[in-house]
Structure 1
Amino acid sequence: MVRFTTALGIALVVLGVGAYVLTSAVSVTALIPAFVGVPLLVCAAVARSASRRRAALAVAVAIAVLGALGSSMNAFRIGEAIAGTAQRPSAVWVSAIMFVLLVAYVVVGVRALLRSRSAPAA
């Protein structure tokens, strides 16, 4: 799960920086995926310690839930972006990608946390 958290954090930072650069650095809001990815990378770094792993991953899942909720507003406008009627189509696409990545992470993360809770202590 630590590797997945690291990979997701890197993917979100790349997505945010890429969106910022591709939109000609017009708005700092294009960096929102990076603003979610950096705390996930911090959680992944903390989770490398076995004694702090579960707590760090729980915080990472909480950050992912908040990020998914925040990106859902634009993500559900994907139909407008496909039809070409969205006011900011790049924001809709970035939000949709971020939403899908974070929801997948939340599902996998919750399952991993529940599995670790039911596992016998070593």
Structure 2
Amino acid sequence: MNVSKLTIVTGALLVLTGVTAYLVTGTSSVTALIPAFIGVPMLICALISRRPNLYRHAIHTALVIALIGALGSLMNVVKIGQLITGTAERPAAIATSVIMFLLCVNYVAAGVYSFVEARRRRKPA
């Protein structure tokens, strides 16, 4: 899967995660939409990346957004033990953060790998 398509898939899954979390928590907190706030700009970057002259800039921007999303979700991801033991104050926030973290880290890893491979292909033999 190319990085543009992966950007669309990841952005859409983040939006879906955020909207689902918002609805499941009874629309009581806008913070449940944080994954969507990361996913929407990624989707915009995916659309921009369709222009060949803007591809690298758009995908680099999407990677930065995903990195920010991964780092921002860490404060709840470290509480995963509380979720497993059933002692978490906000289990939905932890679960949502774990999903967001996994999606963002996967995207960043795939994006970095893609750019490393592209650079290798460009080097003269």
TM range (shorter): over 0.9
Q: Give 1:27's aligned residue.
A: 29
Taking structure 2 as the reference length, the TM-score comes to 0.93
Matched residue pairs, number?
121
Per-residue deviation at 1:55? 1.1
Question: Are the counterparts in 2 of residues 9 and 41 from structure 1 also a CA contact under 8 Å?
Answer: yes
Give runs of aligned pairs for residues 27-106 of structure 1, distance below 5 A.
Answer: 27-106=29-108
CA displacement at 1:76 relative to structure 2: 1.5
Distance in 1 (alpha carbons) for counterparts of 2:62 and 2:21: 23
- Quick one: which amino acid aligns to residue 55 of structure 2? R
- Amino acid corresponding to residue 11 of structure 2 in structure 1: G
What amino acid is the match of 1:32? I
Q: CA RMSD in A?
A: 1.1
> Where do 5+ consecutive residues of structure 2 fail to align?
none
- Mapped partners of 1:54, 1:41: distance in 2: 15
How far is the alpha carbon of 1:117 from its aligned partner?
A: 2.8
Residues in 2 aligned to 1:98 and 1:72: alpha-carbon distance in whole angstroms: 10
TM normalised by structure 1 equals 0.95
Quick one: distance in 1 between partners of 2:82 and 2:76? 10
Once the two structures are superposed, residues 58-87 of structure 1 have per-residue CA deviations (whole angstroms, 9 ceiling, x without a partner) of: 111111111100001101211101111010
User: Unmatched 5+ residue regions in structure 1?
Assistant: none
